[in-house]
């Protein structure tokens, strides 16, 4: 399990679970806003829990990364 805060996760360096942590924080922020985002906050939490349970951090990180790096509709 990841023992850091959301702020620490957003600033985490490295790959695997740290990369997932960074993108999961961004996904939570996107999901909780009025921005059209593919995943709900419940989806993000469930996906992160499943990634930690399976040890497949990169698959979930890649899904979040693809959504997090789409263009901003607010510009």
Q: How many domains does the chain have?
A: 1
Which domain covers residue 18, as residue numbers?
A: 6-68
Q: What is the 3-state secondary structure (H, E, C) of the chain?
A: CCCCCHHHHHCCCCCCHHHHHHHHHHHHHHHCCCCCCCCCHHHHHHHHHHHHHHCCHHHHHHHHHHHHCCCCCCC
Prediction pTM value: 0.86
Query: Is 70 exceeded by the pLDDT of residue 2?
Result: no
Q: Give a yes or no: residue 74 inside a domain.
A: no
For 16-49, write each residue's pLDDT tens digit.
Answer: 999 999 999 999 999 987 778 999 999 999 999 9
């Amino acid at each position: 399990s990841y023992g850091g805060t959301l702020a620490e996760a957003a600033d985490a360096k490295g790959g695997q679970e740290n990369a997932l942590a960074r993108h999961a924080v961004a996904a939570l922020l996107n999901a909780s806003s009025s921005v059209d985002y593919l995943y709900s906050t419940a989806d993000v939490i469930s996906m992160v829990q499943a990634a930690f349970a399976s040890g497949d951090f990169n698959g979930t990180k890649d899904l979040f990364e693809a959504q997090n790096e789409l263009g901003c509709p607010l510009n």
